[in-house]
Chain A
Amino acid sequence: MVNVTDQILRDSLLITPGMLIPLFPLIGFLINGLFGKYLSKSITGWIASISVLLSFICTFYIFINLPSTGALHIDLFNWISYSTLNISFGFLIDPLTLVMLLVITGVGFLIHLYSIGYMHGDEGFTRFFTHLNLFIFFMMLLVMGSNYLVMFIGWEGVGLCSYLLIGFWFKNDAYNDAAKKAFIMNRIGDLGFLLGMFFMLFNFGSLDYAVVAQKALLLPVGSSILVSITLLLFVGATGKSAQIPLYTWLPDAMAGPTPVSALIHAATMVTAGIYMIVRSNVIYALAPFTLEIVAIVGVATCLFAAIIGLMQNDIKKVLAYSTVSQLGLMFAALGLGAFSSGMFHLVTHAFFKALLFLGSGSVIHALHGEQDIRNMGGLRKYIKVTYITFFIGAIAISGIPPFAGFFSKDEILAKAFEHSKVIWAILSISSMMTAFYMFRLVYLTFFNDFRGTEETKKHIHESSSLMTIPLIVLAGLSIIGGFIGLPSVFGFTHQFQMYLSSVTDASKELMKENIELNHSMEYILIATAVIAAIASILYARFKYFTKKEQPSEDLALVGFEKAVYNKFYVDEMYDTVIVKPLKVLSDLFLVLVDKLIIDLLVNAVAWVVGLSGRMLRLVQTGNTGFYVFAMVFGIIVLFVIRLLI
């Protein structure tokens, strides 16, 4: 039993660092944004990095001092107050938030450091760090908010920063288009989120997490209110976290600088949807129908993106589809009710996917902007650190023990097996594909001989230590990151699950299906997964290392391969089904409504006014006598009217 006074004392000590967490990036943003042009480049970079580091220290301090059962409430001020509606602007720091914050600040700091090296020499250096700090700030609002509205501010804010950073090199039209695409796609999702909030307000009268969960528990399981709220929120999640059908923006978002891809489009922002669902796990647990949908969408995305990833030739596109696929895996876990497993994979994925992106950034840096893996090869001799760390990341994502990805992935697969054999099968196939395309990437990039021009070959160089140190740290995390959640089957307690239990317990009680797998079955599952992964890696090695195959040229592809290479023509399909009809419709309205009706009306009004003006001005004869007559006549009329009425 925790002593109550002790708890109050402890909380009061933690409030200050709690408020400082989002303040540091905000200060960094303001300094760089307002005075950036007076400061030297390296200073702006360090200001941004150190502000995130300070946030990380504060987060870590709270992480140590706050027990896993506790939660820290910080109410800043009463934001919206209208009759019965009360929405406060406040923060809630509980284990779930802390996990997210540690990932954001920790990985965020490493990526900031890396960016100092990577963006060195770019003319928008200061702008880059300004936006990056702003992003971190909004991301913190997102995870720290104590109600859905504060989360929504962060949600919109990270969308904005994502837009700004994807279109960072705004002189390139294609990059701008990618930024706009990301923004619009997110907007569709945000509309769902917004509607979900309205539903929540309408039915529960509050947006506070605790209140909503409390009121939701009063409703019957699967009631239509809960299903519609959760479905609408999930639409928001599909937009932000790039799930079918709103996933197409993420591969295009690779137009941004590589650190942005690592931070925003792999480690943090795209996981906002997962965070949101875990945060509202109680209402999701009360809506089994929505969970089915989440699971189906997750599984479908996981497989679909993995297939597309098999055939991509752009090093960042492969990683982007891999991210979509891994996010699908997380959603599948959430859909199966394994909220903590989804979070676990989120954390490990943040480590190794950030590592892979930063590694690819290092490769691109070494090759002066070359992104096509057909023009790489043999790089292992030139950039050793990058090679080793990238290799570790690839192993981790493929699910080879004891690397981080193995534990989290295996946990999800086990949960899937409990739930349905079909889902398990599909997810297993997807993870085999993952292993295959990751090692395809590794072999094509780092092995055999260099396939680019001699000119580039001369200039290949290892990145500066500012860039390699984050790689090494992330590689270390990818190796040991899985140990926070050792499975119980090996006789350990699942630390991560324990830590999050105060958040996820409520929903766990609601989901009563507890078909505990027996241990032998679980061993078999693990063995299958590992063997499958190793087999795919070996196949990739055989195909791209031993046989030295190369991806065929774009035009040489036929049939299914061509369809895969062109991403199943989803973009083209959206273009035909949605964009083109819309364009035709707006053209139609332009001609029919705008030009014909509205213009006609406006012009008619103007014409009538002009005509009456031309007529009336003849009254102004300039003859004073006439004016006096008119005036007297007016007086007479007025009196007559007054008399008659």
Chain B
Amino acid sequence: MSQYLFFTLSILTIVSALYVVFSRNPMHSVLSLIFCFFTIAGHYVLLNAQFLAIVHIIVYAGAIMVLFLFTVMLLNLNKETEPHKTNWIKIAAVIAAGMLFLVLIASLKSTELGPFHLPYRSTIGFVQNIGIKLFTDYLLPFEVSSILFMSAMIGAVMLAKKEK
């Protein structure tokens, strides 16, 4: 059962990801990426990480991708305005990515994975467990990340506002 779900989700993920890259219209790319993120959230649920799945949808689909959408519309890029690269660069890009994939697979082959638990019975992905972890062991990084957010927000506002 899980395997079928995994395959379905994986195929959807890969197809949408490829469409992000190959679509000529930026708007389509954005929509396709949103779909891709939903399928990844599905993977999270499959891995019994429900909380993370929800957060993922809120942050990525809800916040980040909305930001992308706004930008695309703001800059009026929904046409096929992008001048495309020459063919040999495209071929080179595909070959380079393929090579990287091969090399990574090859290096993964040589690694050995340790003993594992079946994820379906674990409770680690529950809010309670992650919350405890986050507010005990990772309290300092958590606080620091809030400062990072703050500075990113101020920076974004400063950069995007019109110069007088």
Contact = CB atoms under 8 A, between A and B. Distances in A.
B107 interface: yes
Interface stretch (A28-36, A402-410, A635-643): A635-643
B107 A642 contact: yes
B156 interface: no
Contacts of A625: 85, 89
Contacts of A642: 107
Interface residues of B, number: 13
B95 to A, nearest CB: 10
B100 interface: yes
Given A642-B107, A643-B110, A636 B89 contact: no
B73 interface: no
Nearest to A633: B96
| Residues of A in contact with B, size category | 10 to 19
A39 interface: no
Contacts of A636: 96, 99-100, 103
A635 B100 CA distance: 8
Nearest to B93: A629
B107 A639 contact: yes
B106 A643 contact: yes
B92 interface: yes
Interface string B89-120: 10011001101100110110010000000000
A20 interface: no
A629 B103 contact: no
A43 interface: no
Contacts of A639: 100, 103-104, 106-107
A643 B109 CA distance: 10
Nearest to B110: A643
A632 B106 CA distance: 16
Interface string A622-635: 00010001001101
B92 A629 contact: yes
Nearest to A642: B107
Nearest to A638: B103
A631 to B, nearest CB: 10
Interface string A595-638: 00000000000000000000000000000010001001101100
Contacts of A643: 103, 106-107, 110
Contacts of B99: 636
B98 to A, nearest CB: 10
A174 B134 CA distance: 83
A11 to B, nearest CB: 67
A640 B103 contact: yes
Contacts of B107: 639, 642-643
A27 B85 CA distance: 85
Contacts of B85: 625
Contacts of B103: 636, 639-640, 643
Interface string B63-104: 000000000000000000000010001001100110110011
A632 B95 CA distance: 11
Nearest to B104: A639
A629 B106 contact: no
Nearest to A639: B103
Nearest to B89: A625
Contacts of B89: 625
Nearest to B99: A636
Contacts of A635: 100
Nearest to B92: A629
A582 B104 CA distance: 69
A554 B94 CA distance: 100
A632 B100 contact: yes
B104 A629 contact: no
A257 to B, nearest CB: 72
Nearest to A632: B96
A17 B103 CA distance: 86
Interface hub of A625, A633, A639, A642 (most chain B Cβ within 10 A) = A639
Given A636-B103, A639-B104, A629 B110 contact: no
B83 to A, nearest CB: 12
A643 B105 CA distance: 11
Nearest to A626: B89
A643 B104 CA distance: 10
A643 B111 CA distance: 10
Contacts of A633: 96
A625 B104 CA distance: 22
Nearest to A640: B103
A642 B108 CA distance: 12
A635 B107 CA distance: 13
A639 B85 CA distance: 28
A293 B96 CA distance: 87
A336 B133 CA distance: 94
Contacts of B104: 639
**Ordered nearest first, which 5 A-B pairs have the shortest CB separation?**
A639-B103, A632-B96, A643-B107, A636-B100, A639-B107
Interface of B: 85, 89, 92-93, 96-97, 99-100, 103-104, 106-107, 110
20 contacts: A625-B85, A629-B93, A629-B96, A632-B96, A632-B100, A633-B96, A635-B100, A636-B96, A636-B99, A636-B100, A639-B100, A639-B103, A639-B104, A639-B106, A639-B107, A640-B103, A642-B107, A643-B106, A643-B107, A643-B110
